[in-house]
């Protein structure tokens, strides 16, 4: 019989066909769907996140692992009752106005999803007003903003200002990231946190939501 460890290892290797085969085998042998996700699929992705953070794995491998994990989750998801799927929290994510970079942001979205977060990925070139609308509509725990150009960094401050004007700033935690961004800049503009990479962003969201709850 397939084991959770075997499944986790296949996720780490980014071997989607093997992940599908092992997930089906675990489902057929009556394993708890949530355990398959948490111990096998997310278990594997947690290792990937840790390795990525210390530079032992790189973006292409992380993307392969995330895709492999998703292929397993697709099989198990229909077996889990709506509401039983544990959510670590809700994150609204986007690249700020004037900036069209999305590879880093999409990697953050995948890492957050693989850690059990519900992610609303708004896309690129997102205005402060659009971020504010998304907060009103979806009531997330965290707003995550990304910028890759020094010229668009200030759009992060504009977004925080708009959230404050709309009376939404106290309702969410705001985190920022991207190549030109630093911890100092995050503090200057009044963000709650800064993450240098996707694995750190996931940890930061967990910590901020943990403090809030």
120 assigned to some structural domain: yes
* DSSP letter, residue 156: H
Domains held by the chain: number:
2
Rounded-to-integer distance, Cα 190 and Cα 204, Å: 16
Same domain flag for 118 and 57? no
What is the predicted pLDDT for the residue at 71? Answer: 93
| 3 state DSSP class of 90 | strand
In tens, the pLDDT along 78-125 reads 888 766 777 889 999 999 999 999 888 988 998 898 888 999 999 999
Same domain flag for 72 and 139? no
Q: Which of 50, 79, 108 is the last residue of a domain?
A: 79
Same domain flag for 94 and 74? no
Same domain flag for 30 and 111? no
Rounded-to-integer distance, Cα 67 and Cα 20, Å: 11
| 140 pLDDT higher than 80 | yes
Q: What is the pTM of this model?
A: 0.79
Rounded-to-integer distance, Cα 168 and Cα 131, Å: 11
195 assigned to some structural domain: yes
Same domain flag for 117 and 96? yes
84 assigned to some structural domain: no
Same domain flag for 74 and 96? no
Task: Retrieve residue 94's tokens.
Answer: 């986007």
Same domain flag for 103 and 8? no
Question: Residue 33 belongs to a domain with what CATH number?
Answer: 1.10.1240.10
Find the angle CA(38)-CA(43)-CA(44) to the nearest 5 degrees.
135
Q: For the sheet with 142-146, list strands across it.
A: 117-126, 89-96, 142-146, 173-177, 193-194
Rounded-to-integer distance, Cα 70 and Cα 91, Å: 18
In percent, the amount of the chain with pLDDT more than 90 equals: 72
Same domain flag for 94 and 25? no
Find the angle CA(198)-CA(204)-CA(208) to the nearest 5 degrees.
150
In tens, the pLDDT along 26-85 reads 999 999 998 998 899 989 998 998 898 889 998 889 889 989 998 998 899 888 876 677
| 156 pLDDT higher than 80 | yes
Rounded-to-integer distance, Cα 106 and Cα 103, Å: 5
Residues 6+ apart with CB under 8 A from 154: none
Same domain flag for 180 and 111? yes
| 23 pLDDT higher than 70 | yes
Same domain flag for 72 and 17? yes
Same domain flag for 103 and 64? no
Domain hosting residue 110, numbered range: 89-212
Same domain flag for 73 and 158? no
Question: Residue 93 belongs to a domain with what CATH number?
Answer: 3.40.50.280
19 assigned to some structural domain: yes
């Amino acid at each position: 019989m397939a084991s959770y460890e075997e499944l986790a290892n296949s996720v780490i290797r980014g071997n989607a066909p093997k992940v599908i085969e092992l997930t089906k085998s675990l489902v057929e042998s009556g394993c708890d769907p949530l355990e398959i996700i948490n111990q096998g699929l997310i278990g594997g992705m947690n290792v990937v996140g840790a390795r990525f953070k210390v530079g032992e794995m790189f973006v292409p491998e992380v993307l392969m692992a995330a895709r492999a994990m998703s292929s397993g989750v697709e099989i198990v998801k229909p077996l889990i009752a709506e509401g039983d799927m544990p959510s670590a929290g809700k994150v609204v994510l986007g690249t700020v106005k004037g900036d069209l970079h999305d590879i880093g942001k999409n990697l953050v979205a995948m890492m957050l999803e693989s850690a059990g977060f519900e992610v609303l990925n708004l896309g690129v070139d997102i205005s402060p007003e659009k971020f504010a609308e998304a907060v009103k509509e979806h009531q997330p725990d965290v707003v995550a903003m990304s910028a890759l150009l020094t010229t668009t960094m200030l759009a992060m401050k504009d977004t925080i200002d708009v959230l404050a004007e709309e009376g939404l700033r106290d309702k969410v935690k705001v985190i920022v990231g991207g190549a030109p961004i630093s911890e100092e800049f995050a503090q200057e503009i009044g963000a709650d946190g800064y993450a240098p990479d996707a694995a750190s962003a996931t940890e930061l969201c967990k910590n901020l939501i943990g403090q809030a709850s």
